[in-house]
Amino acid sequence: MTLPTENVLDFPRPAICEAFDKRLTVEFGGKVIADSSQNWRALETYHPPTYYLPVASFADGVLVANPRRSLCEWKGQAAYFDIVVGDRVVETAAWTYRNPTPTFAPIAGLIAIYAKPMDRCTVAGVDVIPQPGNFYGGWVTPNIEGPVKGAPGTTHW
């Protein structure tokens, strides 16, 4: 499937969220650990989309609560999960907003995941390139244009 061209300079600030009905998949440890077509995504200037999947789209047992917490100026307090498949563990690889701000109420309890430590992530069958750096969790696909935050020296644009 061909995704429409989107430029990160056209994404809003402050950030917003919107429904996203294209198929998202996440592979780790040699298996598909998440698969959903009922998703949401957060959009913000200079960021590729960050996708949020329903908990039910994850394989049983792969999400293990982690005590880490962080605060997002737009979404509120995040809680984290480790991803576990067999003896493979990636700490704080996924997160959720249990009680997000009113603007982000639709993503309450949904799960976002960092693409970088996964074996493969896809958006509508298209392979994802992780957002640069280790702070942001956006998923870059070939249809995303413009300067993307995350690389050294870009986190405070």
Domain CATH for 89: 2.170.150.40
**pTM (2 decimals)?**
0.96
When pLDDT is averaged across residues 60-65 and rounded to a whole number, the result is 98
Residue 146, domain member (yes or no): no
Q: Residue 49: which residues within 8 A CB-CB, separation 6 or more?
A: 6, 20, 41, 42, 43, 138, 139, 144
Average pLDDT score over the chain = 96
Residue 135 counted as domain residue: yes
| Confidence category of residue 157, pLDDT binned at 50, 70, 90 | low
Number of domains present in the structure of the chain: 1
Region 80-85: what's the mean pLDDT? 98
The boundaries of the domain holding residue 22 are: 6-140
The answer to whether residue 111 is domain-embedded is yes
Q: Give the pair of three-digit tokens for residue 85.
A: 């498949």
In a domain, 1, yes or no: no
Mean pLDDT of the 65-86 span = 97
Looking at the chain, the number of H-run helices and the number of E-run strands are 0, 15
Which band of pLDDT confidence, cut at 50, 70 and 90, is reported for residue 102?
A: very high
pLDDT digits (tens, 9 = 90+) for 10-35: 999 999 999 999 999 999 999 999 99
